[in-house]
Amino acid sequence: MNSGICTGRTAVVTGAGRGLGRAHALALAAEGARVVVNDLGVAPDGSGAAPGPAQQVADEIRARGGEAVAHSGDVATEEGAASLVATALTAFGRLDTLVNNAGFLRDRMLVNLGEDDWDAVVRVHLKGHFLPVRHAVAHWRAETRAGRTPVARVVNTGSGAGLLGSVGQANYAAAKAGIIALTLVAAAETARYGVQVNAIAPAARTRMTERTFADTMAVPADGGFDAMAPENVSPLVVWLGSASCAGVTGRVFEAQGGRITVMEGWSPGPTADHPARRTPAEAGETARALLAVARAPQPVYGAR
């Protein structure tokens, strides 16, 4: 583990005790990164907490010859996010890459979705991205002002649910859409400090997806290519977390199996200008005319 595109770099991965985060942490270490493995150790719905998952992955990295430390703090709190960055600096003397991945689900149809379930999911996903980014960027800004401009990378975890919507996941979809917007703003604001910020929208078999998408998440019985294995997503994450992706920032990538897609997001479609204020009827007539020549939106996941 002493050579690779992340040799000499220190990476932090949140939610790295299982699933995608674990795969990312192992892949980063395999490419030479020293890794801070963060995981609160909660159940799929966010209940409970245990240090075991983070420690187990850190131990696994070390058993493979890499360098890693565990961090079991809650990154959706000021204290947890600050200690996450501090752990990297204390253990390895630097921070180069932040991979935000922590999250859980509390799926309900919109009319059955309680306020607590909304707040909990938005908190862990959106706030759990914002606070680590803010603390990491504060460190990189200080480095830049001290004349040591870093080659820093942030990889955020969005979702197809945040790009297209997902039936029964209003809280999750809203949080993931917020993460995409956060990524775009962070990329624009932090470039001056040597930071590149990108996001992925992965599709893989994890604790969060195996129940919802059981029919499409099964391991191939014939032993063939497992398109839904979380390890398939990690190579892109490793590249985005390395110096090799110079010049790539403010981008969103879908990743599943062997497929990588650059998402192009919102862009202006058909437009009609008018020299004066329209009446409601005129506005409606114009809107219908524009919709008639506009591209149809992609369907919401789960919609019939």
Pair 206, 230: CB distance under 8 Å: yes
Residue 54 is given by DSSP the state: H
Q: Is 148 helix (H, G, I), strand (E, B) or coil?
A: coil
The total of other beta-carbon atoms located within 10 Å of residue 176's CB is 28
Cα dist. 169→120, 204, 233, 303 in Å? 13, 17, 22, 12
Pair 176, 165: CB distance under 8 Å: no
Cα dist. 193→9, 105, 137, 255 in Å? 17, 34, 8, 28
Q: Is 292 helix (H, G, I), strand (E, B) or coil?
A: helix
Q: Which residues belong to the active site?
A: 159, 172, 176
Distance CA 252, CA 258 (A): 17
Pair 158, 180: CB distance under 8 Å: yes
Angle separating helix axes 170-190 and 128-145, nearest 10 degrees: 10
Q: Say if residue 62 is exposed, middle or buried (CB neighbours under 10 Å; 0-12, 13-18, 19+).
A: middle
Pair 126, 156: CB distance under 8 Å: no
Pair 133, 81: CB distance under 8 Å: no
Nearest Cα to Cα of residue 29 among 63, 71, 73:
63
Q: Which residue has the tokens 């600050």?
A: 82
For 48: left if phi > 0, alpha if psi spans -120 to 50, otherwise beta; the answer is left
